[in-house]
A and B are shown apart, each in its own frame.
Chain A
Amino acid sequence: MPNNTNLLEEAGRSTKNLDPCSVVIFGATGDLTSRKLCPAIYQLGRDGQLPPNFACVGFARREKSNEQFRDELKKEVGTYSRIQPMDETYWENFKEKLFYHRSEFDSDEGYAALAERLKQIDSTHATGGNRIFYLSVQPKYFPIIIEKLAKNGLIYDAHHTTDRWSRVIIEKPFGHDLKSANELQNSISEHLDESQIYRIDHYLGKETVQNILVFRFGNSIFEPLWNYKSIDHVQITVAEEIGIGTRGHFFEEEGLLRDIVQNHMMQLLSMVAMEPPVSLSTRGIRDEKVKVLRAIRPFTEDDFDHSIVRGQYGTGFINGKDVLGYREEKDVNPDSNIETFLAMRLYIDNWRWAGVPFYLRGGKRLPKRGTEIAIVFKDAPGVLFKQNGKVNEPNVLALRIQPDEGISMKINCKIPGASNQIHPVKMDFRYGSYFGESPPEAYERLIWDCIVGDSTLFARVDEVENSWKFFTPILEHWATLAAKDFPNYSAGSWGPKSADELIEKDNRSWRIL
């Protein structure tokens, strides 16, 4: 038996060891912290998934006491935690592990005081010197925060410190384009080893996204069909009913491509298109995802005109109510050229996907919320049931990521009776109808993974880089052309007419969600 095997551990059965640790959240007074991060940490604790020796420190610029911070979080957790009502008894115990630290993000004194405070917490809460720094702040602050953490001895040398660890979770967006992503990477890698960087994309924490791998590689019936021989095309849709809300400033800088497509949709694409990994190890899975991104055919000048459509919503109706157009939203330039919709066709140039188009569609203020991957199969040979011009519906396998998580399969069936009429029917699996418990929130899973040191569900640097490599030329092309037809779709519709034309010219159509 190899020396590195733990004789007391049984593969697939032993539970991962949770080291004691402290989590420091930068941007502790922000929306993400109150709506997602703190409810997720509370829920982990409530479910017994946090190490007993644990503390959480909120780091932000506003003046606040520990008590104020705890009271505010209690309200937010009460509103946003997954299981309602919140457990008051547990909260009384949990709140003692929450602290607030006020500082500017660039203040040396603030970081020195943080280091001192964490030492105290180590001694009072036995957190063992292990640290997670969660950067829930604007991307421009990433380099300075990491630099200051390193300067104040809060980042350990991953190669020489074995009894303690430090990890940094970085929220999206990781860069604004290829150049800025590389600059950011160069800047943070001066202080952090890749093994210490956890680039979060909360889509990967969703149970349904993780299930893509189980569905594909844990069942023998689908994988033989999962290629150009059987699949006609793939559609990936990320539709949001909501507009930009209070994120006008952010959206004016980012747009839909950077907000959703470059990260979430590329993660879905790589999960659905990847080859079977050699193992379920972090490296095994990430290697295969990167291969997909590298194989995406770069856009040509012609593709800029014919393979991608951008849109921006105008006024319209959602759920019977009038809603504003994008340019009328708060903090938005009335002449804005920012896209709130995108539809595109791309190809993955490898053996498996030769000639199979992938249609991606995402947008704000669409008729309903829904994220779905649809595998549309080729037609059956026409000799038997397609005579006299009859056309049958293609088989479709739909993986619903949210909401109503599940999988459905459209197949053709004979309508009972004497004639040979064929009608499509749907076989439907719904998570909510099968399992008695609600699944954990994506952030619960990802924070837990970071505590145990598993970065499989986080984006590796070359994933980010290859995604930007594909999208940066598109962004550069758009930057040279004003979107003269904006706004080009009404809120509450499925996007601009040109998006329909993009797919219809291939004799296909968008799925109705």
Chain B
Amino acid sequence: MSVQQIVDPEKIESELLRIWEELSKEKNRACLFNLIVYNHLSNRTDYIRDIVQKVSEKYPCRVLFISTDGEATHPYLKTAVSVVGQGTVACDYIDIGVSGDDIKKVPYILTPHIIPDLPVCLLWTGDPAKEHPLFDPLIKMADRVIFDSEEADNLLDYSKKILQIRKETNIDVADLNWARMEGWRDILASIFHSQEKLEQIQTIKITHNAKETPFFCHLRVQSFYLLSWISSRLNWTLKKATKELEFTFEKQKGEIHSAEWEKLGPGTIIAVDITTDDKHTYECARIPSQYHYVSIQISSEEQCQLPYQYLLGRTAKGQSLVQEIINKGTSSHYLQMLEKLNELDRDKLC
């Protein structure tokens, strides 16, 4: 990263040009898309900056990083520019720090710096269900909005808001928590690859990591997502849900459990155990010494197969965001899952 230069908003482009002229022998200026990041200064900000940097290293883009500060004693508006990227390919990074009334100026500062003809991706790291003066203006600029349900205070309100955005606009939406459990969805899809096998599922028990960190505290979300996804895809009808997180469907049962694993991401799914009508048990669990490997053991009363392993993709920090930015469209499974979530979590269990 080049040294960050604090500049007046009107000098953003000229200062970037100056930096690039200095770097012209070392770096190529590249940009595949615009990435607007909205972030409220908190203990998650460093984490957000870190994953945004991962994205820009893999897919060079113009980053427009907005940080709002609700606790500042004096209102301020600061803009700064720099160049980021390892190796010979690098890209622009524009920082906008703001507090107080100046927040309403942000869209006006931002607009002239969107590179035309390239997609605009918005990473909204706040809770979309909460009113925010920047939400509507930024959403209108974007072709794709990426949320993180980890930020949601209430999962039901969150899902309603996302479904509403989809209903009222053509904007593509994505969710980092949905992306974080993609590997597990792929595993289950590959094990239960036929309609016949899917219809035999009787019970499903999901275990997640309940070890909190300052950045993550909504630990049940991914488990809820997984259960909701399966029940929506297989059209299960919920009869009863308890505070112990036991779910009774018309013919099937689901349970959500927790365990504490050091070093594994908070809320991350640790294991999924499934039983079927034909008395088979499918035990899929992360290997403690290698978190990104899942051991799959299929057994019945008569036989026990040799366990095999499956590699969960995209375990490195920031990889979920990288993938979601490149994905096109909105996952239909995700939207169905959110609708089902309204039913599963009607008692606000998550």
Inter-chain CA distance A13–B323, complex, in Å, is 10
Contacts of B277 in A (CB 8 A): none
Cβ of A51 within 8 Å of any chain B Cβ, yes or no, is yes
Q: Are A128 and B308 in contact (CB under 8 A)?
A: yes
Q: Are A437 and B58 in contact (CB under 8 A)?
A: yes
Inter-chain CA distance A173–B86, complex, in Å, is 41
Partner of A15, one of B32, B308, B313: B313
Given A7-B195, A128-B308, A436-B86, 15 additional A-B pairs, CB 8 A: A6-B193, A6-B194, A8-B189, A9-B189, A10-B333, A13-B331, A14-B189, A15-B182, A15-B313, A50-B311, A52-B308, A126-B309, A433-B30, A434-B30, A436-B89
The 10 closest A-B CB pairs, nearest first, are A52-B309, A17-B190, A8-B189, A433-B28, A126-B308, A9-B189, A15-B186, A7-B233, A10-B333, A53-B308
Cβ of B87 within 8 Å of any chain A Cβ, yes or no, is yes
Contacts of A50 in B (CB 8 A): 311
Contacts of A123 in B (CB 8 A): 306
The DSSP consensus for interface residues of chain B is: mixed
Shortest beta-carbon distance, B323 to chain A, in Å? 10
Shortest beta-carbon distance, A97 to chain B, in Å? 12
Shortest beta-carbon distance, B89 to chain A, in Å? 5
Inter-chain CA distance A387–B87, complex, in Å, is 49
Inter-chain CA distance A436–B28, complex, in Å, is 10
Q: Are B89 and A432 in contact (CB under 8 A)?
A: yes
Interface string of A12-54 (1 = CB under 8 A from B): 1111011010000000000000000000000000001011110
- The contact sample of 30 A-B pairs, CB cut-off 8 A, is A6-B189, A8-B188, A8-B192, A9-B189, A9-B193, A10-B331, A13-B182, A13-B331, A13-B333, A14-B189, A15-B183, A15-B186, A17-B190, A18-B311, A20-B308, A51-B311, A52-B293, A52-B310, A52-B311, A53-B309, A126-B306, A126-B307, A432-B88, A433-B28, A435-B30, A435-B32, A435-B60, A436-B59, A436-B86, A436-B89
Inter-chain CA distance A10–B185, complex, in Å, is 10
Inter-chain CA distance A7–B28, complex, in Å, is 44
Shortest beta-carbon distance, B249 to chain A, in Å? 16
Interface residues of A in 410-442 (CB under 8 A from B): 432-437
Cβ of A3 within 8 Å of any chain B Cβ, yes or no, is yes
Partner of B89, one of A6, A53, A435: A435
Inter-chain CA distance A15–B60, complex, in Å, is 24
Q: A15-B313, A52-B293, A434-B89 are in contact. Are A10 and B332 (CB under 8 A)?
A: yes
Among A3, A7, A9, A12, chain B packs the most CB atoms within 10 A around the CB of A7
Cβ of B115 within 8 Å of any chain A Cβ, yes or no, is no
Contacts of B192 in A (CB 8 A): 6, 8
Inter-chain CA distance A60–B230, complex, in Å, is 48
Q: A14-B189, A432-B89 are in contact. Are A8 and B198 (CB under 8 A)?
A: yes
Partner of B59, one of A20, A433, A435: A435
Contacts of B89 in A (CB 8 A): 432-436
Interface residues of B in 142-181 (CB under 8 A from A): none
Among A3, A15, A126, A432, chain B packs the most CB atoms within 10 A around the CB of A15
Q: Are B311 and A436 in contact (CB under 8 A)?
A: no
Interface string of B297-319 (1 = CB under 8 A from A): 00000000011111101000000
Cβ of B267 within 8 Å of any chain A Cβ, yes or no, is no
Cβ of B57 within 8 Å of any chain A Cβ, yes or no, is yes
Interface string of B117-145 (1 = CB under 8 A from A): 00000000000000000000000000000
Interface string of A110-134 (1 = CB under 8 A from B): 0000000000000100101000000
Q: Are B186 and A17 in contact (CB under 8 A)?
A: yes
Inter-chain CA distance A183–B60, complex, in Å, is 51
Inter-chain CA distance A12–B56, complex, in Å, is 23
Among A12, A128, A436, chain B packs the most CB atoms within 10 A around the CB of A436
Interface residues of A in 432-461 (CB under 8 A from B): 432-437
Shortest beta-carbon distance, A227 to chain B, in Å? 27
Measuring CB to CB, which residues of chain B are less than 8 angstroms from any residue of chain A?
Answer: 28, 30, 32, 56-60, 85-89, 182-183, 185-186, 188-190, 192-195, 198, 230, 233-234, 292-293, 306-311, 313, 327-329, 331-333
Contacts of B311 in A (CB 8 A): 18, 48, 50-52
Shortest beta-carbon distance, A2 to chain B, in Å? 9
Q: Are B189 and A3 in contact (CB under 8 A)?
A: no
Inter-chain CA distance A56–B349, complex, in Å, is 48
Inter-chain CA distance A8–B56, complex, in Å, is 31
Residue of A at shortest CB range from B32?
A434
Inter-chain CA distance A12–B86, complex, in Å, is 30
Inter-chain CA distance A407–B189, complex, in Å, is 39
Inter-chain CA distance A435–B55, complex, in Å, is 11
Inter-chain CA distance A434–B33, complex, in Å, is 11
Residue of A at shortest CB range from B192?
A8
Shortest beta-carbon distance, A193 to chain B, in Å? 22
Contacts of B329 in A (CB 8 A): 12
Contacts of B57 in A (CB 8 A): 436
Shortest beta-carbon distance, A49 to chain B, in Å? 9
Contacts of B183 in A (CB 8 A): 15
Contacts of A13 in B (CB 8 A): 182, 327, 331, 333
Q: Are B233 and A8 in contact (CB under 8 A)?
A: yes
Among B58, B88, B195, B234, chain A packs the most CB atoms within 10 A around the CB of B195
Inter-chain CA distance A433–B307, complex, in Å, is 45
Inter-chain CA distance A51–B187, complex, in Å, is 12
Q: Are B186 and A14 in contact (CB under 8 A)?
A: yes
Inter-chain CA distance A13–B337, complex, in Å, is 15
Interface string of A308-343 (1 = CB under 8 A from B): 000000000000000000000000000000000000
Inter-chain CA distance A5–B189, complex, in Å, is 11
Interface residues of A in 49-84 (CB under 8 A from B): 50-53
Contacts of A437 in B (CB 8 A): 58
Shortest beta-carbon distance, A50 to chain B, in Å? 8
Residue of B at shortest CB range from A128?
B308
Q: A7-B198, A15-B186 are in contact. Are A436 and B293 (CB under 8 A)?
A: no
Q: A20-B308, A433-B28, A436-B85 are in contact. Are A3 and B195 (CB under 8 A)?
A: yes
Shortest beta-carbon distance, A496 to chain B, in Å? 39
Contacts of B313 in A (CB 8 A): 15, 48
Inter-chain CA distance A8–B87, complex, in Å, is 40
Contacts of B87 in A (CB 8 A): 436
Shortest beta-carbon distance, A431 to chain B, in Å? 10
Shortest beta-carbon distance, A452 to chain B, in Å? 11
Inter-chain CA distance A126–B307, complex, in Å, is 7
Shortest beta-carbon distance, A15 to chain B, in Å? 5
Inter-chain CA distance A437–B30, complex, in Å, is 12
Residue of A at shortest CB range from B234?
A7
Inter-chain CA distance A48–B311, complex, in Å, is 7
Partner of A436, one of B60, B190, B310, B332: B60
Shortest beta-carbon distance, A68 to chain B, in Å? 28
Contacts of A9 in B (CB 8 A): 189, 193
Contacts of A17 in B (CB 8 A): 186, 189-190, 193
Contacts of A5 in B (CB 8 A): 195
Q: Are B185 and A8 in contact (CB under 8 A)?
A: yes
Inter-chain CA distance A42–B100, complex, in Å, is 54
Among B30, B234, B332, chain A packs the most CB atoms within 10 A around the CB of B30
Shortest beta-carbon distance, B173 to chain A, in Å? 14
Contacts of B293 in A (CB 8 A): 52
Inter-chain CA distance A15–B182, complex, in Å, is 9
Contacts of A20 in B (CB 8 A): 308-309
